[in-house]
Structure 1
């Protein structure tokens, strides 16, 4: 099976040796998106809500570049540096997804790249 990298300037460029996403058949595997502004590459200012919105906007842009939408996402992984902010992150996720919701895991981590407080990755199935 061939692997096709997915890339868009509407989401931050990769900051390491990885693709924004990779399509294998009808499945798209997203790299983690942190709340970087796609134009400046800087971490967005603001609270966890602002950071989560920016990261989901980045994820949405990559989904579109891959030929889909967030409605095609079947699984998301959420990474937070403080599970005490889970309710805020959950509320933001509800702005981007409708039922039936994707499967999800939420994991507290000690740190994220560039000092971010939130990261999201996903798997999307097209077709």
Structure 2
């Protein structure tokens, strides 16, 4: 599937279909790399302590704002890397992602359970790569 300047290959020959992500995304343009975002608001207050859904929504809002600062949006994202302190948070992350990417092809994605993030109350961190049409 082609979206503007990106091509999404959801089922490469000989590779099992993915659920909730695209295996390959290619494109041309300017690379934008976002640092991992956590559920801090603009005053560095944690949103949703102990609540993975609230944290995931804040993380995606932060990603949206960072993308906008680079002249990009979620349609330009080619890859998410999701770090969680419990893989059981993945449904909450996908729910928030689907709210922000509604109607868009899903980017490539990796989801990793980690022993800890930089603060014990932070449950989720997501970094992103985007390619913006020039």
- Which TM-score bucket, shorter chain as reference? 0.7 to 0.9
TM-score (norm. length: structure 2): 0.72
> Hey, which bits of structure 1, 4+ residues long, moved more than 2 A?
none
Distance in 2 (alpha carbons) for counterparts of 1:101 and 1:45: 25
Gaps of 5+ in 2: 1-28
Distance in 2 (alpha carbons) for counterparts of 1:94 and 1:123: 17
Distance 1:91 1:45, change over 3 A: closer
Computing the radius of gyration over CA atoms, which structure comes out larger, 1 or 2? 2
Distance in 2 (alpha carbons) for counterparts of 1:45 and 1:101: 25
Higher relative contact order (CA 8 A, sep 6+): 2
- Residue among 54, 59, 66 paired with 1:62: 66
- Residue among 33, 42, 47 paired with 1:44: 47
Give the paired residue count.
102
Q: Which stretch of structure 1 is more off in the superposition, 62-71 or 41-50?
A: 41-50
Cα displacement string for residues 6-60 of structure 1 (whole angstroms, at most 9, x for unaligned residues): xxxxxxxxxxxxxxxxxxx70001100010011x211113410000010110010
Instruction: Tell me if 1:74 matches 2:78.
Output: yes
Q: What's the Cα RMSD here?
A: 1.3
Gaps of 5+ in 1: 1-24
Distance in 1 (alpha carbons) for counterparts of 2:93 and 2:32: 23
TM-score (norm. length: structure 1): 0.75
Distance in 2 (alpha carbons) for counterparts of 1:37 and 1:43: 6
Distance in 2 (alpha carbons) for counterparts of 1:99 and 1:62: 18
